[in-house]
Chain A
């Protein structure tokens, strides 16, 4: 089985722009969750989607949004980029449950976003 695929691998944007990141989960997995990783704040949970519905949300401003398609692929969008949004964005998929069920998460390699 192919793993979790995130595209693009690297992205450079300027302040004020918007960006869309993509995540393709492992085939058959229905849950996709997103995380932001920075040296200062560590790993923080952004949100989780299951069957095209947002099921859980972390403490991020409304500039961060996402969606999930019927094939379980997910996109994350950040509008009006700020310098502090520079980070590695990771997505993870799991077969069926919410992240809160303790089901194993399968992570992608991430998208490294740099905001100049």
Chain B
């Protein structure tokens, strides 16, 4: 069946470090892919999305490219800030809603 796998957390980085959070998916078709972020005490917010192969989503310095050949949608940011500390969820939407397990990120000054 469909599934989404994310790298295990928690991830702790120093401010201005480079961030990569891996996400791979399995699906019978070509899902839309999303990254959602959950800040402490809040609901989820859409960070970025891509709906077809080779699309690149970007927002707030974060980027992710839909790679059909590797079935991946890795999240990257060149220089993280303390305010990026949150839990990040990869989401696959096709005929089912499939969330990854979430990756907790802590950025320390």
Contact = CB atoms under 8 A, between A and B. Distances in A.
Interface residues of A, number: 22
B108 interface: no
B32 A58 contact: no
Interface residues of B, number: 23
A45 B89 contact: no
A115 to B, nearest CB: 21
B68 interface: no
Interface stretch (A14-22, A76-84, A104-112): A104-112
A71 interface: no
Interface in B81-106: 89, 93-102
24 contacts: A33-B97, A35-B99, A42-B89, A42-B99, A42-B100, A42-B101, A43-B89, A43-B102, A45-B97, A56-B95, A58-B97, A90-B44, A92-B44, A99-B93, A100-B93, A100-B95, A101-B32, A101-B93, A102-B34, A102-B49, A105-B36, A105-B46, A107-B44, A109-B42
Interface of B: 31-32, 34, 36, 41-46, 49, 51, 89, 93-102
Contacts of B95: 56, 100
Nearest to A109: B43
Interface of A: 4, 33, 35, 42-45, 48, 56, 58, 90, 92, 99-102, 104-105, 107-110
- List 7 A-B pairs, minimum CB-CB distance, nearest first: A102-B32, A107-B43, A45-B97, A43-B99, A107-B44, A42-B101, A109-B43
A90 B43 contact: yes
B45 A107 contact: yes
Contact of A44 (B43, B44, B51, B99): B99
A45 B94 CA distance: 13
- Tell me which of A42, A43, A104 has the highest count of chain B C-beta atoms within 10 A of its own C-beta: A43
Given A45-B96, A100-B93, 10 more contacts: A35-B99, A42-B89, A42-B101, A43-B102, A45-B99, A58-B96, A99-B93, A100-B95, A102-B34, A104-B49
Given A90-B43, A107-B43, A56 B96 contact: yes
